[in-house]
Amino acid sequence: MKMKTFLASLLALAVSSANAQTNEMIVQANKPGATIQNTMYGIFFEDINFAADGGLYAEMVKNRSFEFPQNLMGWRTFGKVELKDDGPFDKNPHYVRLSYSGHHDKHTGIENEGYFGIATKKGEKYRFSVWARCPEGGKSTILVQVVDNASMGETQEQAVCWVDVEGKEWKKYTAEFTAKKTMPKQSLRIFLRGFNKGPITTTDLEHVSLFPEDTWKGRENGMRKDLAQALCDMKPGVFRFPGGCIVEGTDLNTRYQWKNSVGPVENRPLNENRWHYTFDYRFYPDYYQSYGLGFFEFFQMCEDFGCEALPVISCGLSCQFQNDIKDEKNAHVAIDSLESYIQDAVDLIEFANGDVNTKWGKVRADMGHPEPFNLHYLAVGNEQWDYKDNEAYTARLKKFMSVLKKKHPEIKYIGTTGPDSEGWKFDILKPKMKEMGLDLVDEHFYRNEKWFTDSINRHRYDKYDRKAPKIFAGEYACHGKGKKWNHFNAALLEAAFMTGYERNADVVNMATYAPLFAHVEGWQWRPDAIWYDNLRSFKSCSYYVQSLYAHYKGTNVLPLKMNNKVVAGDSDQNGLFATAAVDKNTGETIIKIANIGEKAQPVKLNLKGIKKLTSGKVITLHSNEPDAENTLDNPEKIVPQEKTISVGGNILDTEVPAKTFAVYVLK
């Protein structure tokens, strides 16, 4: 036998014996290690893909305050309608004036197209509201209909209500109706009528709004119930908001300004949404931010979900991808002119935590929440970076930190290593974050399947500096190739990668998959965790992976080894990734195993230090088709399956099917 052939057969023997080996995983079940933070698995919300207006925020009227740059965008008018700009809300001054057209058969009115239509569900109640007045005095009536333009003639059958308007003063009028049909794509039509069938009286309308009555927690300025419920069901430990790139803005004027997002909803000014034009192949010229879902509502949801709030604020740099770093006129604030930006951060802490007698604490109290929101975290900047010869980000961050750390040492501050998980931007910032003593650093990685299976990434956090700031994986997702964007295999690789978060819980303290939401008719970016149209929603496989990690988080990492090595899909590990934790509150040992390979793997779980297991279950997420995905029509194609397993002693012999994420919960 030639030497080359001999070596090849030796290698083949070694590989086949590795494949045939029993995958014995030894868990030191009585040696709890690093604490797994309550914040470990969370959610990240950004108004992208019509996530806020047209998504989670349950408002159904688009451009309700007539403030889009084309003031009547989303509206059709008929009869005599004028646009005016001296309305009752100084930050939203526009409104419409409806008058007699000159002929009783030429009706006057307006009609709104909603976000991809206005959908109603049979038997559900809807709350219409409008600010209105009769500027010349007297009384009028408006007839409000939800009409299906596709089936004319049936219009009068659908939801209808009448509202009487009286007097010269602006007042808020409300009316309720019950939908007679489930219809996906209608419009909201408003006719001006004479009071008591009398003559038409000129009538002004402002802030025209329509909400389902059954919002999350029944709130008036509420969230869509199914979507908020999906977030709550995930059991998030932390909630990062409001972005993402929208925090930075394409220019300074369009950055997210939290102060504009609080107070009476009628007077929150409109902001541009960069996702309306970022991708010209997914162009949405009618995508703006109404701020109806603002910082108060974000904090309120954190409270509802029992998780930590993690607001992100502008550091004075607008999107660095879109702007020249030298442009300190429109794009960036000069380093010595950051006072108002830093003050925004200080005031935000006061809004969240301040006493009701403080300026911003009072704003919170006036909105109905005198108790503090107990903010503990604040991120300064989203995806910012320095250059070799220009400390664009860190020079600004230092200014923020010098004030914030003095005024609010109780808060944990989060910096960023930019948009990439490696490369020059990352390499420049990483050591600086340590030098500056940030509490956490936000890392982002939207990467392909290969990246998730490369050894360097599978072992990424095993090698991290234990003395550096803790890691917040603030935006990440596995992006597949071709058409399958939320396909099962991407979720499986995320599950495998996340074993590295848990194993390194002494370093990784938070992780939030991104983006969170997408409207099927209005997305700009995919994959996403939760998808919806106006009536239905579904959870992607990635959502379920996040949810399984969050539900079975545990309190402390347990050492787990196979052949004396951590289990991270190495060549002798048969496609297996694994991690173990104990939940000190429930006494459960939790073992998560991802088998990304094509073959089922026999696994022996040997729980050292435990005499006898008394009960056990396994929850699996599996598909035979790596490209399969959940859809609106088949929302439960791939969902976690739970079964009890018989246990006894401290050894569990099991098999993890091919392409499966399995969570063993053993008592």
Say which DSSP state 55 is in: T
Environment class of 473 (CB within 10 Å of its CB; exposed 0-12, middle 13-18, buried 19+): buried
Name the residue among 209, 189, 244, 193 with its Cα closest to residue 384. Answer: 244
CA torsion sign for 56, 60, 61, 65 is negative
Q: Does residue 353 belong to the site contacting ligand AHR (CB under 6 A)?
A: no
Q: Which of 244, 311, 527, 575 binds ligand AHR (CB under 6 A)?
A: 244
Question: Residues 383 to 402: which contact ligand AHR by CB under 6 A?
Answer: 383
Could you say which residues in the range 583-602 bind ligand AHR, by CB under 6 A?
none
Q: Which is nearer to ligand AHR, 68 or 241 (CB)?
A: 241
Instruction: Indicate the burial class of 153 (C-beta count within 10 angstroms; 0-12, 13-18, 19 or more).
Output: exposed
Question: Which pairs from 350-357 meet CB under 8 Å and 24+ separation?
Answer: 351/258, 351/262, 351/295, 352/299, 352/309, 352/311
272 binds ligand AHR (CB under 6 A): no
Which 60-119 positions form the footprint of ligand AHR (CB under 6 A)?
none
Query: Catalytic: 625?
Result: no
Letters for 457-476 (x = contact with ligand AHR by CB under 6 A, - = none) are ------------------x-
d(CA 380, CA 397): 7
For ligand AHR, what does the binding mask look like between residues 147 and 176, x meaning CB under 6 A?
A: ------------------------------
Which residue's CB atom is positioned nearest to ligand AHR? 244
Residue 502 in the binding site for ligand AHR (CB under 6 A): no
Q: Do strands 508-513 and 41-44 pair parallel, antiparallel, or not at all (unpaired)?
A: parallel
Neighbours of 649 (CB within 10 A): 11
Binding of residue 515 to ligand AHR (CB under 6 A): yes
**Phi/psi of residue 539, each to 5°?**
-105, 135
The answer to whether 91 and 267 are in contact (CB under 8 A) is yes
Residue 443 touching ligand AHR (CB under 6 A): no
At 156, list the tokens. Answer: 């009068």
Residue 48 engages ligand AHR in binding (rule: CB under 6 A):
yes
Is 418 among the residues that bind ligand AHR (CB under 6 A)?
no
Select from 514, 545, 591, 638 the one that contacts ligand AHR (CB under 6 A). 514
Say if residue 199 is preceded by a cis peptide, omega within 30 of 0: no
Nearer to ligand AHR, 147 or 514 (CB): 514
In the complex with ligand AHR, the residue whose CB is nearer, 420 or 502, is 420
Closer to ligand AHR by CB, 211 or 385: give it.
385
* Whether the Cβ atoms of residue 75 and residue 63 lie closer than 8 Å to each other: yes
Do 207 and 151 meet the contact criterion of CB atoms below 8 Å apart? no
Task: Using the minimum distance from each CB to ligand AHR, give the nearer residue, 109 or 243.
Answer: 243
Enumerate residues 6+ apart whose C-beta is below 8 A from 514: 44, 46, 244, 444, 446, 474, 475, 476, 477
> Which residue among 419, 554, 569, 575 contacts ligand AHR (CB under 6 A)?
419
Active-site residue (options: 67, 350, 383, 588): 383
Residue of the chain from 320, 323, 382, 601 that contacts ligand AHR (CB under 6 A): 382
Binding mask 204-243 for ligand AHR (x = CB under 6 A): ---------------------------------------x
Catalytic annotation, residues: 383
List interacting residues with ligand AHR (CB under 6 A).
46, 48, 243-245, 382-383, 419, 444, 475, 514-515, 525
